[in-house]
Structure 1
Amino acid sequence: MADHQPQVEVLTESVRVNGTKAEATLVGGELAWRPAAGGNGEGQERRLELESEVLGFQMDGRQLKFATFAASGGGNGKGGGGDGNRRRGEVVVEMENEATAVRWGDVISDRLASLGRPKKLFIIVNPYGGKRSGPSIFQNEVLPLIEASGVLYTMQETKHRLHAQEIAHSLDLRKYDGIICVSGDGVMVEVVNGLLQREDWETAIKVPLGIIPAGTGNGMARSLLHAAGEPFCISNAVFAIIRGHKRALDVTSVVQGKARFFSVLMLTWGLVADVDIESEKYRWMGSARLDFYLLLRILNLRRYNGRILFVPAPGYEEVGDPVDQTTGYETNGFSTGFQDDGRTGSNGETCGYVGPSSIKEAGLRWRSLDGPFVSVWLGNVPFASEDAMAAPKAEFADGYLDAAIIKDCPRWDVLGLVFQMKDGSYVNSPCVEYFKVKAIRIEPGLRVGSSTEGGIIDSDGEVIARGDESDSRAGDDEPGHLMAYGPPIQLTVDQGLATIFSPR
């Protein structure tokens, strides 16, 4: 006997859509209508996808009101063509009587509810990041969409460094369907660290996180929208959260002894870290500071001594040189960082999560690369910033970090690589060693030609170690760096540990 598929209820009614008589049909997750003969736009069928084009919905007597966010030519009833960017709109369907309106309204409400959209969000706004535009972005671009969607929210601005981490550590997560960061990538990283310091970290880290770009880099938001083929803009990032799609996200444990930091974006050492951090002294130049300081650094290119050891992902077993497996890395390597009692997080509070244990498994085959290095870049997602695809093959939850390493390279070739970073093609250069790792250990050394000066190790915009303290901007009243420069720093990936709102 043939299987019987459940039938989808089809509703058809003579209505008025935005004041024009039409025949409307609701089937599955789509509303379609065709203006009646003699009406405005006669014969041209319009469609509205509830999942991908509707912000919110409400009933008002005989009227069904849809707040829309559709590409031009979409369900807002405007004609075809356009640039494909989404725009706010409204579709009002007026029924002949209230009983019919209630029947349609109940079906539409049920179908929207079945999409798994969030009902209440906790929104953290960073008023200090980027151009200090977080509050205005929230008020002018985020709030109108949130209110149109009917999603409830609680908003809190950060007041100091690590405030978002403190919020996430103590927040009553039972009240919310997600935590949203209106900020650059750094605030989301603080939230991840706060969640993993909780006693209930196993459930806390599964609370969906959202990112609305309001910082300098915005690599996570760019990566999420790019993966879905969506243009990079604030409104698309907000709509992705409202729609409620989610994906798993790798979390990397960055460990040195008992000090640990949890990363979701990237770690850099060498050229990129130097430019990112040292260019702060030129912040008055705006975003041009990065290009200006990059040119200065290339003209006076630095190279750093050191060594990198790693466990390669399948397919990359021939990168680097084999490491003698009898050298005792079980006691003088990654495992050391995870075997201590290690319940202390980066702010000294109790840490519920001590990092993945898979690195302790026997049989891992380590390989190594020796310096000097111009740049070491480890990425978890494709984009490091809005316009820099640093790790073009990176995936959100593949369980690996993508390594892009520049050893020795003429300075003008380095400049050429920077220009090729917009589309990720720089990794095809013979100057770049690009591969994936499950775990990696950095042993940073001094700058070539110097007996005292080291470099900067930067994770997700946070300086975690600095080899030249005389150049540090930290004063006596500011906290020191989490880790020391010189001793090995270990990174290990925990596949899909966190959850993030995604356009698809």
Structure 2
Amino acid sequence: MDERRAEPDRRIGGSGSPVTLFGEFTITGNRKVRCSVSLTERDLLIQRFASAPVGRNKVVLSLKDCIGCRAYRTDDSADTAAYFSAYFYPLKRRWMSSGVSRQRVEHCFRLAALQDPGANLEEAEKWARAVRERSGRQRYPRDGVSMSELPRPCRMMLLVNPQSGKGQALTLYNNHIQRQLNEAGIQHTLVITERQNHARELMREADLSQWDALVIMSGDGLLYEVINGLLERPDWEEAVQIPLGILPGGSGNALAASVHHYSGASPVYSEELLVSCGFLLCKGLVSHMDLVSIHLSSSPRLFSFLSLAWGFVADVDIESEKYRHAGAARFTVGTLVRLASLRIYKGKLAYLPAAADRNGEEGLRKNMTLHCNNQASSLSPASLLCHQGGDTPCENTLHNYCHSNNSLKVRKAENTPSRSAIKSLPGPPDSVLLPLDQPLPSSWVVVQEEDFVLVLAMHQSHLAEDLLAAPEATVDDGIIHLFYVRAGISRSALLRLFLAMEKGAHLATNCQHLVYAKVQALRLEPYSPKGIITVDGEVVEYGPVQAEVHRGLSRLITG
């Protein structure tokens, strides 16, 4: 390395930013290849001196895509050189595809200008520190979203459910996430959950002062446990502020897909989604996230981050448990069974329009396409055949929330809690909900007793990796996105709603049986004697239920 060789024409990078650090190094692994490296406020520019095809001897890497940089020496005591490696995850076009995804790029440089090993290491550390500092100042634009940063160094508790999805969460952690966190210099402790509600119990008792963030690698059900465990603590007001991270390890991965969507990137799936969420986690930017309080007749109040479902969506998710051995295909089988004998659910629905929409009820009840899946997941158009009338073969992968023993038993209803009892429950008080046995105020919109195919309340954009159910949703908009489908819809029309939802196009269709409203609170009273209600994919007591959104109550790492 020789900083004295810097020349005036090298002081402007490819982005137009002034060069703040310049040096010449060899490439690790091939000491014959020398290059100049320029660091600006926005980019790392690498210019190779060795002969190379035109256009390939210069590389410009955006620091927005950098998650870390480290300096080190080798174990060879005879080698006086020092090294620094920078880790980038730029968006690149996928092979044989028109889409783009984040792909790992590592650049490693050797410094041997001085005979003193300590001096070489000091210089390498100066470079590594400068790259980290400048990459930490980069931001992707996020209109209207207030964000904060995780501290550096950061201490994370990483909870993994080894049984979620196809049972590959630990393998995915070993193949991708462990390396990403190490590259970003993030200290983390791996906690493997052993049973249902294990994470909920841990959160009630954990010393949260040891951690800067809690990260969940699983389906959405593990985060449901974590959030409710935090809100059951005596110090819930402080506990609920600890940043939460999500890494897809299940089948549906709705919140992970939502986080990726909020970043503005094009859709990705499977391990590409995992790499993207790992990148966003390492960038460490934190947004507020809405939570929704859920009241049931006799159960303690619950908190939801994703969805509330009754009807078709809930039935498919839970009834397909018997096909768990088939992996994600369990939802395909469950959907076929339920479509073949489409059920009608009798009940009463009411809601309080969101504040911004209360002066125009017509604007609230837009006809939109809804996908009926509160736990929705993968739909493959190529494998979906739509037949008018009869059975409709379709592939529809619904959310896997990692619940190992969903119980359909309904506890006998007890007396509905009074208003004072509601206020005394753990967590923040509800501002607009009355006890379930009291009539609703006149400001609520009441959907007269109707026959429904499904009712679905969404708090995030996605129902699954490839189901964009609420395209207008953001992580902290203070809105419950309420969809319901009236009876009378044909199997083929219901299937078309699923298909349109893959790209969020259901909002532009003209389905006369679908209603969509932005609401602050809702109340559902099922009249059908049997049925399933799910919250974030978990079965809850069947019967009257009501919900209210609490804007920005928790915090989510969204990058």
Residue 124 of structure 2 corresponds to residue 101 of structure 1 = yes
CA distance 1:103–1:290, shift in 2 (3 Å): closer
Q: Which shows bigger deviation, 284-293 or 394-403? A: 284-293
Report the equivalent of 1:449: none
Report the equivalent of 1:4: none
Find the partner of 2:445 among 367, 376, 397.
367
Find the partner of 2:168 among 133, 145, 164.
133
CA distance 1:299–1:56, shift in 2 (3 Å): same
Residue 28 of structure 2 corresponds to residue 15 of structure 1 = no
TM-score scaled by length of structure 1: 0.80
Query: 2:349, 2:525 within 8 Å by CA — same for their partners in 1?
Result: yes
1:70-89 aligned within 5 A: 70-72=90-92, 84-89=100-105
Counterpart of 1:186 in 2: which secondary structure? helix
Gap regions ≥5 residues in structure 2: 1-16, 74-80, 115-119, 139-148, 366-415, 435-439
Residue 536 of structure 2 corresponds to residue 445 of structure 1 = no
Report the equivalent of 1:356: 430
Query: 2:69, 2:84 within 8 Å by CA — same for their partners in 1?
Result: no
Report the equivalent of 2:532: 456
Query: 1:35, 1:42 within 8 Å by CA — same for their partners in 2?
Result: no
Report the equivalent of 1:330: none
CA distance in 1, matches of 2:347, 2:167: 37
Report the equivalent of 2:420: 339
Aligned-residue offset at 1:375: 0.5
Residue 73 of structure 2 corresponds to residue 31 of structure 1 = no
CA distance 1:280–1:83, shift in 2 (3 Å): closer
AA in 1 matched with 2:246? I
Counterpart of 1:376 in 2: which secondary structure? strand
Aligned-residue offset at 1:112: 5.1
Share of identical aligned residues, percent? 28
CA distance in 2, matches of 1:182, 1:407: 36
Aligned-residue offset at 1:82: 9.8
Aligned-residue offset at 1:9: 7.2
Query: 2:67, 2:282 within 8 Å by CA — same for their partners in 1?
Result: no
TM-score scaled by length of structure 2: 0.73
CA distance in 1, matches of 2:25, 2:137: 25
How many residues in Structure 1 have an aligned counterpart in Structure 2? 444
CA distance in 2, matches of 1:102, 1:40: 32
Find the partner of 1:214 among 249, 256, 260.
249
AA in 2 matched with 1:420? A
CA distance 1:83–1:411, shift in 2 (3 Å): closer
Find the partner of 1:419 among 485, 492, 499.
499
Aligned-residue offset at 1:234: 1.2
Query: 1:59, 1:105 within 8 Å by CA — same for their partners in 2?
Result: no
Report the equivalent of 2:233: 198
Report the equivalent of 1:50: 63
Counterpart of 2:176 in 1: which secondary structure? helix
Counterpart of 2:104 in 1: which secondary structure? strand
Cα-to-partner distance string for 1:330-349 (whole Å, 9 max, x where unaligned): xxxxx9675316655xxxxx
Find the partner of 2:458 among 379, 391, 396.
379
AA in 2 matched with 1:495? R
Query: 1:250, 1:264 within 8 Å by CA — same for their partners in 2?
Result: yes
CA distance 1:70–1:392, shift in 2 (3 Å): closer
Report the equivalent of 1:171: 206
Aligned-residue offset at 1:190: 0.8
Aligned-residue offset at 1:276: 0.9
Counterpart of 1:240 in 2: which secondary structure? helix
Cα-to-partner distance string for 1:98-148 (whole Å, 9 max, x where unaligned): 264354344334445667455211010112222222222222222122223
Report the equivalent of 1:318: 361
Residue 221 of structure 2 corresponds to residue 181 of structure 1 = no
Report the equivalent of 2:484: 405
Query: 2:66, 2:135 within 8 Å by CA — same for their partners in 1?
Result: no
Aligned-residue offset at 1:260: 0.8
Query: 2:71, 2:125 within 8 Å by CA — same for their partners in 1?
Result: no
CA distance 1:318–1:102, shift in 2 (3 Å): closer
Aligned-residue offset at 1:404: 1.0
CA distance 1:364–1:397, shift in 2 (3 Å): farther
CA distance in 2, matches of 1:83, 1:57: 31
CA distance in 2, matches of 1:283, 1:29: 48
Query: 1:117, 1:242 within 8 Å by CA — same for their partners in 2?
Result: no
Report the equivalent of 1:237: 277
Query: 1:256, 1:337 within 8 Å by CA — same for their partners in 2?
Result: no
Report the equivalent of 2:291: 251
Counterpart of 1:311 in 2: which secondary structure? strand
CA distance 1:43–1:418, shift in 2 (3 Å): closer
AA in 2 matched with 1:380? H
Aligned-residue offset at 1:398: 0.7
CA distance in 2, matches of 1:287, 1:106: 44
CA distance in 2, matches of 1:499, 1:218: 18
1:465-504 aligned within 5 A: 465-466=541-542, 485=543, 488-503=544-559
AA in 2 matched with 1:85? S
Counterpart of 2:339 in 1: which secondary structure? helix
Q: Which shows bigger deviation, 397-406 or 299-308? A: 299-308
Counterpart of 1:340 in 2: which secondary structure? helix
Query: 2:422, 2:429 within 8 Å by CA — same for their partners in 1?
Result: no
Aligned-residue offset at 1:84: 3.8
CA distance in 2, matches of 1:201, 1:138: 30
CA distance in 1, matches of 2:125, 2:281: 28
CA distance in 2, matches of 1:357, 1:120: 35
Q: After TM superposition, what 4+ stretches of structure 1 lie above 6 angstroms from structure 2?
A: 39-43
Query: 1:441, 1:491 within 8 Å by CA — same for their partners in 2?
Result: yes
Residue 518 of structure 2 corresponds to residue 436 of structure 1 = yes
CA distance in 2, matches of 1:354, 1:292: 40
Cα-to-partner distance string for 1:311-352 (whole Å, 9 max, x where unaligned): 11233642599xxxxxxxxxxxxx9675316655xxxxxx3x
Report the equivalent of 1:69: 89
CA distance in 1, matches of 2:106, 2:27: 10
CA distance 1:182–1:241, shift in 2 (3 Å): same
CA distance 1:296–1:73, shift in 2 (3 Å): closer
Counterpart of 2:89 in 1: which secondary structure? strand
CA distance in 1, matches of 2:470, 2:283: 27
CA distance in 2, matches of 1:62, 1:305: 72
Aligned-residue offset at 1:65: 1.7
Query: 2:84, 2:125 within 8 Å by CA — same for their partners in 1?
Result: no
AA in 2 matched with 1:101? A
